[in-house]
């Protein structure tokens, strides 16, 4: 990178981070040249670059000003999926995505890994080493079937923040939220059963349904308020639906938090039609606002909400610790855990339990909430800057995912294949639909820090999308 | 314990360990008194105790001699289970057994925990600490779906010893053998399907079938040579059986190794009837003889044998590392792993991989083989000594389990309940049968070191059995 490019990026970053506000005057060419020890012409070139990128505007005889804020890209409209039960496909694409995890040279914008590089995680390593030294007998032996009691006690305490009043005896530890959801479905469903899902829905959940031989019916979902109660009711009238999977807090991929009134409405619908709610709260603790949003589980009075969550997003995926509050299905779930996944690793459970007990967890999550919020703002700026006009972007209230809707003619499945050759992995929207909808959408993992390398990827991504928008010449000339 | 009891136990132990042979003269009362610094009368009392226990016999004017060896208790006869598919019950009893794991005050003779107290395991702790320090990024992040490659490579090498030629690409890591078997069944079966099993069969496997909604058909099994090929063929003629679960090497609970000819016979039967063999090799590495026995998998040519195993018995349950060589079902299994159990903990996989690579595994397993063999000999002596005549005991060729058949009138389910109050946990035989047979049998975990405390438990167990043999007076007087 040349000097002027470096300077331009530095200034762009400051603008994105809000250090220079929209409409504010930027430092003079001379003062910048002194500050950074570069020539006048380098600063001029940097300013010209930023002008081309429409980040700043020159005012004759006054210098450069930060460009007025572009309108936020609009939020995508309510989804309109096919409303009948379908078999789920696309396992191969998901498998490719999973394979990419082990290839360090691939930039995983399509995955769901959190940022595990922050210093607030350091006490966790210490606890992991300490546990091996001090709890050797527990570390080597079988765990309790329900999981370590001390950990369940800590989790019960955390769950109070979401309004759920449970004790250690109501909880079962699983190896991640995915496994919790899987055991929940295995406890309630038979192959061929129909499960209602938000649309779009996280591809892991889709493939889970597929693996267990279940059918999905996709329900229209609003990117601000969540699943359409009306559409869900219609589907319940029409089909023998066993349950509904919801991510009501910091939804993946759309980032919304369902308003409390709608959470309660969906619960009373579940009661009326006697179905189960599988509530996935994996991102709930990463809500931007404090205190964190309530779970649907917190209003449940007859044990029909099975709350699933994990430390995968809040601490680290490598712990493989999730949990479930299975309500009235507790006995069945314990049996399914024994049958389908077995007991868990004691060492990581003990380490996590100590990490929470000593207050490190809250400190870490507080920090991560801020980091992810900031990251999502910067990525949104980049989307505005590098992507074509006419895109829609969600405005998440937590978590670290952005959901982008591109113009209709863009086929992200094709774009993803091209990017793959450049070692960039993205998640095309079609993975988030049982019926392969949302080919013009994509999900972006903003847990990847907004560093130069990732900014560059966003530039490449934007370019690829722009190319995909152009009419195909070979077709045009026919 | 008084002095003479202590001395008596010490001498009994030496006799059991073969330090004094059968028929050999024991030290004089005077010399023992000098050796142990106790009074003459203490030694005399100790010898009288041993005489009562029929371990020694006095010869007038010559002193005491080790009693001639009692005949080895006979091996139980071939089992004769109900030969039709049945639903499995007794989950509650198994759950109690699992619950006992977390109660340190209970002596777990019914469980399957190996001995994890040996010094040859020390390098494992070191590896566990080291991994957290040196592989932090891997420890915190998602694992590959198939499991760590370096570990799969080590396992592929180990599998050569059993005659199975596979590469890392043919293996999938699971969280234990139980989970491997579960995924195998999920990949092949639908609820309601029928699976053939040896009879008796490990209760964990039975409950796994139950959890997945499968039916078991128990096939007569010989305690020396394994499942009856003839009876299996008969069942295959009569019922639409999907597969057969076998533990052909160091069987749990009966300890046999199927002769190679019978392994091949069962494989050709599977080919003829086009069924799957689920081969559980979890104890295979603990065979007494070197080299270890071959797996059925080693003769498989069309990928119908799914070999399941783990380090639970050979290293430590707390690692939660198992694996499967799923043959032709590889793709389906990977998908089921994603759906039903998710990825595994990276830290324990890395530690285990290093432990094997550095040669610690082979050293440890060599030691454990000898220890378990010795333990089983001592427990067999104790059974002979403290239990009523007329019992049958298996003669395992590996592993660490003894299967005991008591006189017909003994109801081990009742005895187990009594013992439970004394904080002694045993596994009544009925847990090992889908139809609740073998109520007069029990399995003993000889991984518990043959120390005084456990000898005392065997005395109590023997007494409880003797009481259970007496005609019930309340009934007799009617």
> Would you give per-residue pLDDT tens digits along chain B (478 residues)?
788 988 988 888 888 777 887 778 889 999 999 988 999 999 999 999 888 777 888 888 888 888 876 667 888 988 888 878 888 877 888 888 787 777 888 999 999 999 999 999 999 989 999 998 888 889 999 999 999 999 999 999 999 999 999 999 999 999 999 999 999 999 999 999 999 999 999 999 999 999 999 999 999 999 999 999 999 999 999 999 999 999 999 999 999 999 999 999 999 999 999 999 999 999 999 999 889 999 999 999 999 999 999 999 999 999 999 999 999 999 999 999 998 888 999 999 999 999 999 999 999 999 999 999 999 999 998 999 899 988 999 999 999 999 999 999 999 999 999 998 999 999 999 999 988 899 999 999 999 999 999 999 999 999 999 999 887 655 444 4
**pLDDT confidence tier of residue A93, bands split at 50, 70 and 90:** confident
CB A419 within 8 A of CB A461: yes
Question: Closest Cα partner for A240 from A273, A277, A201?
Answer: A273
Contact A108, A446 (CB under 8 A): no
CA distance B180 to chain A (A): 9
Across the interface, do A344 and B175 touch by the CB < 8 Å criterion? yes
Q: Which residues 203-242 of chain A have a CB within 8 Å of chain B?
A: 204, 207-208, 210-213
Cβ of B116 and A140 within 8 Å?
A: yes
- Residue pair A166/A309 in contact (Cβ under 8 Å)? The answer is no
What is the C-alpha separation between B394 and B73, in angstroms, rounded? 8
Q: CB of A321 within 8 Å of any CB in chain B?
A: no
Residues on chain B touching A101 (C-beta within 8 angstroms): 141-145
DSSP type of residue B249? S
**How many Å apart are CA B3 and CA B142, to the nearest integer?**
59
Residue A63 has pLDDT above 90, yes or no: no
| pLDDT for res A299 | 98
Strand pairing class (A441-445; A276-280): unpaired
**pLDDT, tens digit, 9 for 90 and up, residues A406-419:** 999 999 999 999 99
Q: How far is B94 from chain A (nearest CA, A)?
A: 10
**3-state secondary structure string across chain A:** CCHHHHHHHHHHHHHHCCCCCCCCECCCHHHHHHHHCCCHHHHHHHHHHHHHCCCEEEECCCEEEECCCCCCCCCCCCCCCCCCCECCCCHHHHHHHHHHHHCCCCEECCCCCCCCCCHHHHHHHHHHHHHHHHCHHHHHCCCCCCCCHHHHHHHHHHHHCCCCCCCHHHCEEECCHHHHHHHHHHHHCCCCCEEEEEECCCHHHHHHHHHCCCEEEEEEEECCCEECHHHHHHHHHHCCEEEEEECCCCCCCCCCCCCHHHHHHHHHHHHHHCCEEEEECCCHHHECCCCCCCCHHHHCCCCCEEEEEECCCCCCHHHCCEEEECHHHHHHHHHHHHHHHCCCCHHHHHHHHHHHHCCHHHHHHHHHHHHHHHHHHHHHHHHHHHCCCCCEECCCCECCEEEEECCCCCCHHHHHHHHHHCCEECEEHHHHCCCCCCCCEEEEECCCCCCHHHHHHHHHHHHHHHHHHCCCHHHHCC
Q: What are phi and psi of B438, to 5 degrees?
A: 65, 35
Contact (Cβ atoms closer than 8 angstroms) between residue B446 and residue B427: no
- As a whole number, mean pLDDT of residues A53-75 equals 81
Stretch A206-220: mean pLDDT:
94
Distance CA B284, CA B288 (A): 10
- Measured between alpha carbons, how far is A354 from A82 in angstroms, rounded to an integer? 47
What is the ipTM, given to two decimal places?
0.85
Q: Which two tokens stand for residue A33?
A: 């040249």
Q: Could you tell me if A307 and A140 are in contact, meaning their C-beta atoms sit under 8 angstroms apart?
A: no
CB contacts of A182 in chain B (<8 Å) are 339-342
The distance of A94 to chain B (nearest Cα, Å) reads 10
Assess whether pLDDT exceeds 90 at residue A474.
Answer: no
Rounded to the nearest angstrom, the gap between the alpha carbon of residue B387 and the centroid of all alpha carbons in its chain is 21
Nearest Cβ partner of A341 from B143, B340, B346?
B340
Give the Cα separation of A144 and A164 in Å (integer). 24
| Element containing residue B252 per DSSP (H, E) | none
Rounded Cα–Cα distance for residues B12 and B386 (Å)? 12
Tell me how crowded residue B357 is: count the other CB atoms within 10 A of its CB: 15
Q: Which helix (H) or strand (E) segment is B477 a member of?
A: none
> What is the helix (H) or strand (E) element at residue B204, kind and residue range?
helix B203-211
Q: What is the DSSP letter of B339?
A: I
For residue B475, give how far its alpha carbon lies from the nearest alpha carbon of chain A (Å). 38
- Pairwise CB contact (< 8 Å): A334 & B101: no
| Closest Cα in chain B to A185 | B340
* 326-365 of B, contacting A, C-beta below 8 A: 334-336, 338-348
Whole-angstrom CA distances from B324 to A374, B298, B366, B476 are: 44, 14, 23, 55
Contact criterion met (CB below 8 Å) for B426 and B461? yes
Centroid of chain to Cα A313: 9
Mean pLDDT, range A285-291, rounded to an integer: 92
Longest C-alpha distance within chain B, in Å? 77
CB contact under 8 Å between A317 and B345, yes or no, is no
Sheet holding A427-428, edge to edge: A392-393, A401-405, A441-445, A427-428
The beta-carbon neighbor of B113 closest among A141, A207, A345 is: A141
Span A182-196, average pLDDT? 95
- At B65 the pLDDT is 85
Using pLDDT thresholds of 50, 70 and 90, give the confidence band for residue A478: very low
Q: Which of A133, A342, A348 is closest, CB to CB, to B345? A: A348
Averaged pLDDT for residues A140-169: 96
Closest CA to A213 of B208, B190, B329, B243: B190
Q: Rounded CA gap, B245 and B396, in Å?
A: 20
Establish if B179 touches chain A: CB-CB under 8 angstroms. yes
Q: Which band of pLDDT confidence, cut at 50, 70 and 90, is reported for residue A472? A: low
Q: Hey, what are A242's tokens?
A: 């066993």
Q: pLDDT class for A51, splitting at 50, 70, 90?
A: confident
Q: 3-class SS at B350? A: helix
Average of pLDDT values for A204-230? 95
How high is the pLDDT of residue B472? 65
Contact of A129 with chain B, judged by CB distance below 8 Å, is answered with yes
């Amino acid at each position: 990178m040349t000097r002027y490019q470096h300077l331009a990026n530095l200034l762009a970053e400051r603008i994105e981070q809000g250090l220079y506000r929209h409409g504010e005057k930027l430092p003079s060419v001379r003062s910048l040249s002194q500050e950074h020890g570069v020539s006048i012409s380098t600063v001029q070139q940097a300013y010209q670059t930023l002008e081309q990128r429409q980040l700043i505007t020159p005012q004759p005889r006054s210098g450069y000003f930060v460009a007025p804020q572009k309108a936020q890209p609009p939020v995508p409209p309510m989804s309109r999926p096919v409303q009948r039960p379908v078999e789920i496909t696309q396992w191969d694409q998901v498998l490719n995505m999973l394979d990419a995890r082990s290839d360090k040279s691939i930039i995983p914008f399509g995955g769901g890994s959190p940022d595990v590089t922050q210093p607030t995680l350091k006490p966790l390593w210490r606890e992991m080493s300490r546990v091996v030294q001090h709890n050797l007998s527990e570390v080597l032996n079988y765990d309790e079937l329900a999981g370590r009691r001390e950990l369940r006690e800590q989790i019960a305490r955390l769950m109070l923040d979401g309004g759920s009043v449970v004790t250690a005896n109501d909880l079962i530890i699983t190896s991640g939220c995915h496994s919790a959801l899987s055991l929940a479905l295995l406890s309630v469903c038979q192959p061929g059963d129909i499960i209602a899902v938000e649309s779009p829905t996280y591809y892991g959940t889709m493939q889970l349904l597929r693996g267990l031989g279940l059918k999905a019916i996709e329900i229209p979902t609003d990117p601000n308020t969540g699943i359409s109660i009306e559409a869900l009711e219609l589907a319940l009238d029409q089909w023998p639906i066993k349950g509904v999977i919801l991510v009501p807090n910091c939804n993946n991929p759309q980032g919304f938090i369902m308003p409390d009134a709608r959470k309660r409405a969906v619960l009373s619908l579940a009661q009326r039609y006697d179905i189960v709610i599988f509530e996935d709260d994996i991102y709930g603790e990463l809500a931007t606002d404090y205190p964190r949003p309530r779970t649907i589980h917190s209003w449940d009075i007859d044990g029909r909400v099975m709350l699933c969550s994990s430390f995968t997003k809040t601490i680290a995926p490598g712990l493989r610790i999730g949990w479930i509050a299975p309500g009235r299905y507790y006995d069945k779930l314990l049996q399914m855990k024994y049958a389908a996944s077995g007991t868990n690793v004691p060492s990581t459970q003990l380490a996590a339990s100590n990490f929470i007990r000593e207050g490190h967890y809250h400190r870490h999550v507080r920090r991560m909430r801020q980091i992810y919020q900031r990251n999502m703002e910067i990525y949104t700026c980049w989307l505005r800057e590098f992507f074509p006009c006419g895109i829609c972007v969600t405005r998440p209230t937590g978590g670290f995912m952005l959901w982008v809707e591109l113009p209709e003619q863009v086929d992200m499945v094709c774009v993803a294949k091209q990017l793959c050759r450049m070692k960039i992995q993205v998640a095309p929207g079609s993975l988030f639909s049982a019926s392969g909808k949302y080919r013009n959408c994509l999900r972006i993992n903003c847990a990847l820090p907004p560093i130069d390398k990732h900014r560059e990827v966003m530039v490449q991504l934007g370019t690829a999308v722009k190319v995909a928008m152009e009419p195909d010449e070979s077709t045009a000339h026919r």
